[in-house]
Structure 1
């Protein structure tokens, strides 16, 4: 199979690859796309799918062939879009054919605990998960390699998937197309620093406005619409978006921008632990942590009970 390499001018500079979240994740791609990915001219072993740099993948499929060597298994995995060779290295437990001293019988017949017998049981259980037969379901995660002009996966993790009612396969078939729509099929777009800094600045300002309001008014509970108007000046002060030739560009309306800004600010405050929601319902009610007396009492009770434990007592 002949593989295509990208032109240097078509590649994202390697110093920017870390900005793409796909680069740090195990990409759940179809095997067909893994086999057709183009290889980078900047760094060998890195591949591109729709401008996304990829070097490790996550596949689920049926084993269609199997070869075993002393140190590794070779499994052919088929996900109905293609077949790829998966090189799965054996660990020390799989290499051992017997436990040292395994012929010695001690106490097993009398019903006592025999560590050698238990070790054999653990070893057989481990082997049953890693030794996969043709027709069984296998999940493999690892970096993509090219060996002898063939694309393959060098597995860092692999295991047999017991899926008698096809629940795992159905979940996979529903999740992967959504990942393609939301991430893989969207080209990597790097925003300018000015746009990013302006967005972060607006969220920071909105967060501070809501925080100051909650502190000054000693608010215990509130709903989003009660603080939404406080952020209105931030939307009015933003300049209109323009393109390269300084012409106005269509974008979200003021109301949409206000709702999105409020959503981001509330999420930031939740991450900081300043506010939280007791019940997830359509009626969004946020509680202020420092004003929730029930929460303070519950936390004190937990600390009081934990401090009575032996590990917390001073010697």
Structure 2
């Protein structure tokens, strides 16, 4: 079977959380015999916990809640520490801007890499988009069903 590890596939939370984990190093995840590494989900933020180095939040799409982590610790100090000036790399600035979009009750599109943390699947966030149109969630559901039928799930052999 082919691999889906190079693209962010659209999945519902229930499908994402039911992926089969192959205990390789690093772990890999399988859907219908195909390796899946990156995912896109759409849902409402129902939990948010910000720390110094990361933002952990839950996204609920109606089929389940997906744990997500957005790493914020990409900052480093300037070589001239005596001046006290700090310099941020662009990744840190983007992560901080994205973290500001993650608010309770907000409708988000989240893309990232699937990882295993303490035995549970979660998403290490690559990007976050705040969705303003509430119909986006239903459209995502329809796209997930359509993509599963057409692309992700294997077709039965022709008779």
TM-score, normalised relative to structure 1: 0.40
**1:1-315 residue pairs with structure 2 within 5 A?**
20=2, 22-90=4-72, 127=97, 130-163=100-133, 166-186=134-154
1:21 Cα deviation from its structure 2 partner: 5.4
1:45 Cα deviation from its structure 2 partner: 2.0
Q: Is the 8 A contact 1:77 1:83 kept in 2?
A: yes
67-76 vs 166-175, which moves further: 166-175
Runs of 4+ aligned structure 1 residues displaced above 4 Å come to none
Q: For residues 157 and 128 of structure 1, what CA distance do their matches in structure 2 show?
A: 7
Q: For residues 177 and 46 of structure 1, what CA distance do their matches in structure 2 show?
A: 23
Q: For residues 92 and 131 of structure 1, what CA distance do their matches in structure 2 show?
A: 18
Q: Is the 8 A contact 1:72 1:88 kept in 2?
A: yes
Q: Is the 8 A contact 2:57 2:67 kept in 1?
A: yes
Q: For residues 8 and 51 of structure 2, what CA distance do their matches in structure 1 show?
A: 27
Structure showing the higher strand proportion among its residues: 2
1:159 Cα deviation from its structure 2 partner: 2.7
CA distance 1:185–1:128, change in 2 (3 Å): closer
Deviation digits for residues 21-54 of structure 1 (CA, Å, limit 9, x no counterpart): 5232111111112111111245532111111111
Q: For residues 162 and 92 of structure 1, what CA distance do their matches in structure 2 show?
A: 28
CA distance 1:70–1:83, change in 2 (3 Å): same
Structure 2 alignment gaps of length 5 or more: 76-83, 86-92
3-state SS of paired residue (1:26): strand
- Max radius of gyration: which structure? 1
Deviation digits for residues 48-76 of structure 1 (CA, Å, limit 9, x no counterpart): 11111111111111101000011221110
Q: For residues 32 and 24 of structure 2, what CA distance do their matches in structure 1 show?
A: 16
Q: For residues 55 and 131 of structure 2, what CA distance do their matches in structure 1 show?
A: 17
CA distance 1:32–1:170, change in 2 (3 Å): closer
Q: For residues 188 and 55 of structure 1, what CA distance do their matches in structure 2 show?
A: 24
CA distance 1:149–1:29, change in 2 (3 Å): same
